[in-house]
Amino acid sequence: MNDVSALNFILSFAAALIAHELGHLVAARLCRVSITEAGLGWGPVLLSTRGRDLNYKLRLLPLGAYIRMDMVELQRRTLAQQLFVLLAGILVNLILGSLAIGTFFGTINLALALGNLFPIYQQDGWKALMVTSRRVFNRPVPVIEWSFTIAAGISALVLAGLLFSIL
């Protein structure tokens, strides 16, 4: 893995991000949840175009990707449909990572899947816990939601510290 070129890293990371977001997009469309925008990166918009019913944006900092969907529509769906849409990106990355196991692309996909599954604020795993909690209790329960958020954040910091101490 030390021989990974910068180009391989950039292309593998971008492809994994795009595949992840395509998983959300396809799942949302299957569950009839509107998607208004798909983007790669964060920060100022470099390029923007409009497809049939979707805005596509390429932003300055290639540090992530996103799909902007109608969250009110998503919340009207069954819990199973909500979880399907929220976890579809992770599923795509797990499939790609498994198919490409032993390659850098496979490693990036598995890392992206695991990172998104971890219940860190605004990641897919966190969102899945929130919709499940709200469905179980029929309302938001701030003490539970803050507990998920804080515990996951502390766990992520501890895990990152352990990883950096090993490296």
**Which amino acids are annotated catalytic?**
21
Both tokens of 165, joined, read 């101490």
How far is residue 56 from each of residues 17, 39, 119, 125, measured CA to CA in Å?
14, 6, 28, 25
| Number of neighbours of residue 160 by Cβ within 10 angstroms | 10
CA distance 94 to 99: 9
Contact between 69 and 51 (Cβ < 8 Å): no
Give every CB contact of residue 32 below 8 A, 6+ residues apart in sequence: 73
Q: Name the DSSP class of 103.
A: S
Give me the DSSP letters along 54-98. Answer: -EEEEEEEEEEEEEEE-HHHHHTS-HHHHHHHHHHHHHHHHHHHH
